[in-house]
C-alpha cells in the first residue's frame, strides 16, 4: 500500500515540479548544424538571427541553448561542454544586449 501511494503521489506532483523548474525559463532553442529552431518560449527575431549567425560562423553541430532568468538578467546555458569558450562568450554577449522584458514581450514564433 505504501509503495503504491508513493508512486501515485510522485505521478501527481511531477507536472508541478516541471512547471516550477521551467518558471524561470525564457526560451529553449535547438540548433541542428544549420538552423536555429524555437522549442519553447519566445525571443525577438533579432536575437534569434544573431544567435544563429554566431553558431553558423562557429561551425557548431547539434546543440540546445536554454535561456533562464538569474538575478533579474537572462543567462544562457548550452547543452554541450564542447562549445569553445570564445563562442560561448559571443553567445553571452549577444543575449546580453536583450533584457528579460524584451525577451518575454517578444511575439510568439511559429
88 falls within a domain: yes
The answer to whether position 82 is within a domain reads: yes
CA distance 51 to 72: 21
What is the reported pLDDT for 78?
92
* 19-68: pLDDT as tens digits: 565 578 999 999 998 899 999 999 999 999 999 999 999 888 899 999 99
Q: Is the pLDDT of residue 88 over 90?
A: yes
Within a domain: residue 17?
no
Burial annotation 60-77 (CB, 10 A radius, 16+ → b, else e): beebebbbbeeeeebebe
Q: Give the residue among 108, 62, 66 at the shortest CA–CA distance from 91.
A: 66
Domain span at residue 89 reads 24-104
User: Would you say residue 110 has pLDDT above 90?
Assistant: no
Q: Is residue 19 part of a domain?
A: no
- Report residue 24 as a C-alpha cell: 524561470
CA distances from 80 to 39, 48, 66, 77, 95 (A): 17, 19, 11, 9, 18
Q: What is the pLDDT of residue 16?
A: 65
Amino acid at each position: 500500500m505504501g509503495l503504491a501511494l508513493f508512486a501515485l503521489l510522485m505521478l501527481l506532483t511531477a507536472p508541478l515540479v516541471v512547471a516550477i523548474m521551467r518558471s524561470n525559463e525564457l526560451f529553449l532553442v535547438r540548433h541542428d548544424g544549420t538552423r536555429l529552431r524555437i522549442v519553447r518560449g519566445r525571443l525577438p527575431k533579432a536575437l534569434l538571427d544573431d544567435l544563429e549567425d554566431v553558431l553558423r560562423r562557429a561551425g557548431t553541430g547539434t546543440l540546445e541553448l536554454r535561456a533562464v532568468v538569474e538575478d533579474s538578467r537572462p543567462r544562457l546555458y548550452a547543452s554541450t561542454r564542447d562549445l569553445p569558450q570564445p563562442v560561448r562568450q559571443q553567445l553571452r554577449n549577444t543575449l546580453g544586449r536583450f533584457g528579460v522584458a524584451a525577451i518575454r514581450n517578444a511575439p510568439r514564433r511559429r
